[in-house]
Amino acid sequence: MAFALSTLRLTSPAFDDGRAIPDRYTGEGDDLSPALTWRDAPAGTKGFALICHDPDAPLIQNGTYGFVHWVLYNIPASTTTLEEATSAGRSGKNDFGKLGYGGPMPPEGHGSHRYYFWLMALDKPTDDLPEGLTLHDLLVRVEPHLLGMNRLVGTYQRN
């Protein structure tokens, strides 16, 4: 897939890039999705999709490595912020087997993991996509429409 970083900037008021994700947003805390904000979307953006992936998880499933914590799409182009515990967009299926966000919770004694929040700017809306897509299914559908993307990385170590 032709993914490439762009001028799109993704941040969170909950944590800085490369820093620890507060317990509130983890499986050991309230398990809420963190607030996210972005700017500088590429010209022609008609919608967004978002994923959160832990590449440090010692799993290989569905042909990919790591663990998917969040798949979210059908985010309108006019959106530049997702509130904490957002109900915006359409939820895909995470690797917990549930729809929506499932917070970080690495295996006990596994150390710190990195959590990549990837925001993708698309040249068409995704309102035609059904709820419950897996990461793989979403990527197959949106890759031809990708204008740009960028990431925010948080870390978490189980207490």
CATH, residue 14: 3.90.280.10
Q: Give the per-residue pLDDT at 133.
A: 97
> Within a domain: residue 122?
yes
> Within a domain: residue 2?
no
> Within a domain: residue 1?
no
Q: Give the per-residue pLDDT at 107.
A: 84
CA pair distance 48, 46, nearest whole angstrom: 7
> Within a domain: residue 118?
yes
> Within a domain: residue 153?
yes
> Within a domain: residue 24?
yes
Q: Give the per-residue pLDDT at 1.
A: 39
Q: Is the pTM of this model over 0.85?
A: yes
> Within a domain: residue 73?
yes
Q: Are 148 and 69 in contact (CB under 8 A)?
A: no
Domain span at residue 80?
Answer: 9-157
Residues of the chain with pLDDT under 70: 1-4, 59-64
Q: Please give the structure tokens belonging to residue 147.
A: 């204008």
DSSP 135-153: HHHHHHHHGGGEEEEEEEE
CA distances from 33 to 27, 60, 123, 131 (A): 10, 24, 25, 18
DSSP assignment letter at 26:
S
Q: Are 92 and 72 in contact (CB under 8 A)?
A: yes
Q: Give the per-residue pLDDT at 57.
A: 85
Number of structural domains in the chain: 1
